[in-house]
Each structure stands twice: as structure tokens, then as C-alpha cells.
């Protein structure tokens, strides 16, 4: 079991990582967060796989519990689903002293976190992520959101949790596609700030190909998840509100969010879109003379075997530009594009024009049809 502390002004919290963390760490977090009630927000898949597991873990804490079950999938990360959560909180007679437990993947963490940020002007939030992607991405850092039809995560708020419990045993029921989606976020953190983490992941293809915990127990996963979360925690501690350096965590999101919006939410998992976006960002960085050819080759060798090829409906420059500007990172008419100078070292390229990215996008399509292709 490992614990990582995130230290922010007025909002420090622990991240507990390990097999069995739910039973050993969740009760204490809930007891610190509330003496009233704990409302569990989860989705239909997790509720079916793990019925009553949170309630059982909290049996001795002696707080009221209630559950709100929402549909499973990115396409349900909407204001309508958010209203369902608010209805459940009202029915449970929750208040600002109650705790909300987000129990599920990234969609649950994002939308439940947004509910916790806004219900009664804020209530304690505890993240219990059940997918690899959620463990290394959305559960850490305090960003919460729902989607708009024209932009992913366009409506949101910052809400730091009171704590995060990452029980590795939940990874044992992940489909292989979901596991691969999470691997892209793990690799991303190595690429932007921890070269040794990237090297270890690139060298562990045999472990990555199997079910988590099946070879050598949980030690490998506990280690790489801890290191990945440490990268994100360090960046968030430097820039909680994404005014500067935290933007490097958006490496790949320029194209990744465009893919998710243009193909329809849920067609590709977030991690799959991140994988394609990483390759485009590395390609662009090399085209601008920032990333050496050898580094680009290493990134492609690590990522391409894990990829689900992306197929998108045709789009023209006007649609491409509109989607970029609906994303949450534009400044005036240009973008802050996150680039690589080397594996483990990312930077910010301000003033990047959408027209410049459109030209590079056309070159990328021609260079990497095995990664991304527009339908005829």
C-alpha cells in the first residue's frame, strides 16, 4: 500500500494506492469527511459488478448511506444526468455536511465531482476510481465537468477531493480495451515529465499484455500508478488552476478532444483518443524542430502496438477550427499547444494558429493512416 499526499493551499488530501485499499482506507476518509450521510454515485456496470461493496466497507462508520446509479458511458456525461444526481441527493436529504463518494470510472468521477462542487454550494467528495484511466487521470487534480454537444468537458468546476482510494483489485474486472485506454494516460505522464517511467512502461510489454495482477502480483501496477499520480500531483501543486504549467497535462488533448467530439462521445474511449492525440502532438513537435527523430521513433514504437485505429467522418478546415476553439484551452484566436522537446520534457507553444495545426493534421493523416483515417 502506498500513500501520496497532494498539498494545496487549504485543500491537502491523500491518495491511497494498493490492493485492498477500499476496506482499509475508505472508512477513515468517510469518518473524517462526514458524521451525517454518504451518498454513493456509481454507474450501472459497477453497481452490477460490485453490489453493496461501499456500504459493506462503511458498516462500522455509522453514517447513513444512499446510492444514485447513472447510465454507463461518456454519452451520458450530460446536464440531464447531472440533474439525476441532484435529484438523488435531494431524496437522500443530503446537505453540505454529507459526503459524496464517486465510485466508478472517469465519467462517474467527473460528473459526481461536479455535483459535489455545486450541490448546496459544495460538499465533501471522495473519489473511488475503478478503472486504470480514472486512477491515473480524472480522480486526481480536482477538475470536474460534463460535456456539451460541441465540446468535451465544456461545463465544469474545480473541486478537490477529501481523498482518493485506488483499490487495484478493481482492475481485475477491466476489459482489455479499458485497460489499454488507461495505459495511454500512464505513458503520457512518463512522456511529459518522467522519462524513467516511460522507459519502464515501454520495457514491460509482457506485463502490460496480461491481466493486472496475473504476473507478479500487484507490485508493478502499484509502482507505476503511484509514479504516474506523483507526476500529476506535482504539476497540480505547482499550478492548481491551470494558469501556466498545469497546461502540460493537456498534452494530446487538442486532437484527443476533437476526436471524441467529432466521432460522438463514447465511440472511442478517452484513452484511445489520447493515444492518437499523443502521436499527433509528437509528430507536430518533430515537424517544428523540437523533438528529435529518435525520440519520435521511440514514442511511436511504444504507442502504436496498443492503439485502436481511429476512423472519423470527413471534416474540413472550418469544422476543425470550430472544434479546436470549443475546447477549453484556446486563448483569443490561437491555442496553447503542448509540445515535446524530449521524452520527459514537455513545454507550451503559445500562439499556435488553428490553420497551422490544420496543415500539420493533413500531413499526419498522410503519414499515419494506421493511427487516424478519415472515412471516404
Mean pLDDT for 310-321 is: 94
Mean pLDDT for 307-314 is: 93
Is 159 designated active site? no
Q: What is the pLDDT of residue 235?
A: 84
Mean pLDDT for 130-159 is: 90
Is 286 designated active site? no
User: Does the pLDDT value for residue 133 go beyond 60?
Assistant: yes
List the catalytic residue out of 16, 25, 152, 257. Answer: 257
List the catalytic residue out of 246, 260, 295, 336. Answer: 246
Closest CA to 365 of 311, 323, 295, 319: 311
Cβ neighbours of residue 192 under 8 Å, at least 6 residues apart?
A: 231, 248, 249, 251, 338, 340, 344, 345, 346
Q: Which residues of the chain are in CATH 3.40.50.1970 domains?
A: 2-173
Q: Which residues of the chain are in CATH 1.20.1090.10 domains?
A: 176-374
Report yes or no: 25 and 57 within 8 Å, Cβ to Cβ.
Answer: no
Is 328 designated active site? no
Q: What is the pLDDT of residue 332?
A: 55
CA distance 43 to 52: 13
Report yes or no: 306 and 279 within 8 Å, Cβ to Cβ.
Answer: no
CA distance 66 to 41: 9
Mean pLDDT for 158-166 is: 95
List the catalytic residue out of 242, 260, 272, 295. Answer: 242
Residue in the block written with cell 463518494: 101
User: Does the pLDDT value for residue 331 go beyond 60?
Assistant: no
Mean pLDDT for 23-45 is: 97
% of the chain with per-residue pLDDT over 90: 72
List the catalytic residue out of 16, 143, 180, 230. Answer: 143
At 209-219, the pLDDT tens digits run: 666 665 557 89
Is 241 designated active site? no
Is 326 designated active site? no
List the catalytic residue out of 43, 77, 153, 185. Answer: 185
Which of the listed CATH numbers 1.20.1090.10, 3.40.50.2000, 2.60.40.1180, 3.40.50.2300 matches domain 176-374? 1.20.1090.10
Is 185 designated active site? yes
List the catalytic residue out of 25, 77, 253, 336. Answer: 253
Is 257 designated active site? yes
CA-based R_g, the chain, Å? 20
- What is the bridge-based pairing of β-strands 37-43 and 64-70? parallel
User: Does the pLDDT value for residue 39 go beyond 70?
Assistant: yes
Mean pLDDT for 132-159 is: 90
Cβ neighbours of residue 219 under 8 Å, at least 6 residues apart?
A: none
Q: What is the pLDDT of residue 15?
A: 97
List the catalytic residue out of 25, 159, 227, 232. Answer: 232
Q: What is the pLDDT of residue 3?
A: 97
Closest CA to 183 of 105, 254, 131, 218: 131
243 or 6, higher pLDDT: 6
> Please, which pLDDT band fits residue 225 given cuts at 50, 70 and 90?
very high
Q: What is the pLDDT of residue 176?
A: 87
User: Does the pLDDT value for residue 266 go beyond 90?
Assistant: no
Q: What is the pLDDT of residue 98?
A: 97
List the catalytic residue out of 250, 272, 295, 336. Answer: 250
CATH fold for domain 2-173: Rossmann fold (3.40.50)
Q: What is the pLDDT of residue 336?
A: 87
> What mean pLDDT value characterizes the chain?
91
Cβ neighbours of residue 80 under 8 Å, at least 6 residues apart?
A: none
Q: What is the pLDDT of residue 325?
A: 82
333 or 107, higher pLDDT: 107
Mean pLDDT for 260-281 is: 92
Q: What is the pLDDT of residue 234?
A: 87
User: Does the pLDDT value for residue 88 go beyond 70?
Assistant: yes
Closest CA to 104 of 32, 180, 147, 44: 44
Is 147 designated active site? no
Mean pLDDT for 156-177 is: 93
Amino acid at each position: 500500500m502506498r500513500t501520496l499526499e497532494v498539498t494545496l493551499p487549504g485543500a491537502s488530501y491523500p491518495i491511497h494506492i494498493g490492493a485492498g485499499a477500499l476496506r482499509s482506507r475508505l472508512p477513515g476518509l468517510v469518518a473524517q469527511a462526514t458524521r451525517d450521510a454518504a451518498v454513493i454515485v456509481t454507474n450501472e456496470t459497477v453497481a452490477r459488478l460490485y453490489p453493496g461493496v461501499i456500504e459493506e466497507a462503511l458498516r462500522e462508520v455509522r453514517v447513513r448511506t444512499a446510492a444514485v446509479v447513472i447510465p454507463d458511458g461518456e454519452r451520458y456525461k450530460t446536464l440531464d444526468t447531472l440533474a439525476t444526481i441532484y435529484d438523488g441527493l435531494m431524496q437522500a436529504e443530503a446537505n453540505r455536511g454529507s459526503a459524496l463518494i464517486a465510485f466508478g470510472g472517469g465519467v462517474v468521477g467527473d460528473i459526481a465531482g461536479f455535483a459535489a462542487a455545486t450541490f448546496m454550494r459544495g460538499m465533501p467528495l471522495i473519489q473511488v476510481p475503478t478503472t486504470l484511466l480514472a486512477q491515473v487521470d480524472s480522480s486526481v487534480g480536482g477538475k470536474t465537468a460534463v460535456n456539451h454537444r460541441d465540446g468535451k468537458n465544456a461545463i465544469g468546476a474545480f473541486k478537490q477531493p477529501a481523498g482518493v482510494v485506488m483499490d487495484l483489485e478493481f482492475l481485475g474486472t477491466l476489459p482489455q480495451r479499458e485497460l489499454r485506454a488507461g495505459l495511454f494516460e500512464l505513458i503520457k505522464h512518463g512522456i511529459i515529465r518522467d522519462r524513467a517511467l516511460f522507459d519502464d512502461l515501454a520495457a514491460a510489454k509482457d506485463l502490460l499484455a496480461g491481466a493486472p495482477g496475473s504476473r507478479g502480483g500487484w507490485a508493478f501496477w502499484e509502482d507505476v500508478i503511484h509514479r504516474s499520480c506523483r507526476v500529476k500531483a506535482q504539476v497540480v501543486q505547482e499550478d492548481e488552476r491551470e494558469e501556466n504549467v498545469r497546461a502540460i497535462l493537456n498534452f494530446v488533448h487538442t486532437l484527443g478532444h476533437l476526436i471524441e467530439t467529432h466521432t460522438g462521445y463514447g465511440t472511442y474511449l478517452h484513452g484511445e483518443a489520447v493515444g492518437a492525440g499523443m502521436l499527433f502532438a509528437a509528430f507536430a513537435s518533430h515537424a517544428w524542430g523540437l523533438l528529435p527523430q529518435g525520440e519520435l521513433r521511440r514514442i511511436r514504437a511504444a504507442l502504436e502496438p496498443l492503439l485502436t485505429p481511429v476512423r472519423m467522418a470527413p471534416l474540413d478546415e472550418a469544422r476543425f477550427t470550430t472544434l479546436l476553439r470549443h475546447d477549453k484551452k484556446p486563448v483569443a484566436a490561437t491555442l496553447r499547444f503542448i509540445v515535446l522537446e524530449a521524452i520527459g520534457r514537455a513545454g507550451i507553444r503559445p500562439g499556435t494558429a488553428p490553420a497551422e495545426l490544420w496543415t500539420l493534421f493533413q500531413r499526419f493523416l498522410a503519414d499515419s493512416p494506421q493511427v487516424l483515417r478519415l472515412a471516404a
